[in-house]
A and B are shown apart, each in its own frame.
Chain A
Amino acid sequence: EAGVAQSPRYKIIEKRQSVAFWCNPISGHATLYWYQQILGQGPKLLIQFQNNGVVDDSQLPKDRFSAERLKGVDSTLKIQPAKLEDSAVYLCASSLVRSASGNTIYFGEGSWLTVV
């Protein structure tokens, strides 16, 4: 079974520039998450989708971050304009809505962003 795919893996941009990250979840997974993990910290949920609807975006800095999940499959996370403090790993994850394993969340390899 293919895992969660993310791209690009690494990105270096200057502050005030924009960047977009793409995620393809595990086939059949209705729930998709974007997490931000700053070095030395645990992952922080930015946004959670159920199919193509937003379930939780309470910690998404909406003045600069946006995310969409068209057709309930792939998702894109955009940052515009980027700030130095956005340097982090952006982790995409997915899970089934209902499963015997209690909705195990599977993570992609992450997209590493450095803002200079």
Chain B
Amino acid sequence: QKEVEQNSGPLSVPEGAIASLNCTYSDRVSQSFFWYRQYSGKSPELIMSIYSNGDKEDGRFTAQLNKASQYVSLLIRDSQPSDSATYLCAVRSNAGGTSYGKLTFGQGTILTVHP
């Protein structure tokens, strides 16, 4: 089982729709969860972080975390063509009890928003 697994893509949605991206993780002691966006040929950029169960909203983005189900998701409302990118889920667990925590990425989901 992969440590961090994302729903297989690519995902295609029309402009203005809600895009839903899902991620599951295997390490129950994971504490921090992140969504990165990566445009083709560019490096990942952080768009959302979430640390406790529930929803966290930032503009058009909502991250949802359910630690009991080991599940984290990202919703993008009013999707725009500029949202077309690869979305990477990343999970941080504490390595050896330190605060330095290894960040593990999923394989990414390609999102295409078409006009």
Please give the residue numbers on chain A whose beta carbons come within 8 Å of chain B beta carbons, in ascending order.
31, 33, 35, 40-45, 48, 50, 55-56, 91, 97-98, 101-110
Contact = CB atoms under 8 A, between A and B. Distances in A.
Contacts of B46: 104-106
Interface string B72-115: 00000000000000001010100100111111111110000000
Contacts, number: 58
Nearest to B50: A102
A44 B95 contact: no
Contacts of A103: 32, 92, 99, 101
A107 B36 CA distance: 11
Nearest to A101: B49
A102 B108 CA distance: 22
Residue among B32, B101, B104 facing the most chain A CB atoms (10 A cut-off) = B101
Interface string B47-90: 00101000000000000000000000000000000000000101
B14 interface: no
